[in-house]
Amino acid sequence: MGNLLYIIAIILIIAWAVGLFAYSAGYLIHILLIIAVVAILLRIIQGKKLL
């Protein structure tokens, strides 16, 4: 479950970066970034390795 959360966070960060530079999707892109950052922070707070 932990690895899945990390993978989803990475995918969301990549989607945010692509959307930021390639498309103008408004606030949706920033919401994706916030979700990804929260997922990574939860993983760090839980004390698990990132990779």
Structure tokens of 35?
Answer: 């979700």
Report the pLDDT value the prediction gives residue 2, as an integer from 0 to 100.
63
Structure tokens of 42?
Answer: 């939860």
The whole domain housing 36 covers 2-45
Report the pLDDT value the prediction gives residue 13, as an integer from 0 to 100.
81
Structure tokens of 47?
Answer: 């004390």
pLDDT tens track for 5-49:
788 888 888 877 777 666 665 667 777 778 888 888 888 888 766
Confidence (pTM) = 0.47
Name the domain count of the chain.
1
CA geometry: angle 11, 9, 31, nearest 5 deg? 90
- Establish if 38 belongs to a structural domain: yes
- Establish if 6 belongs to a structural domain: yes
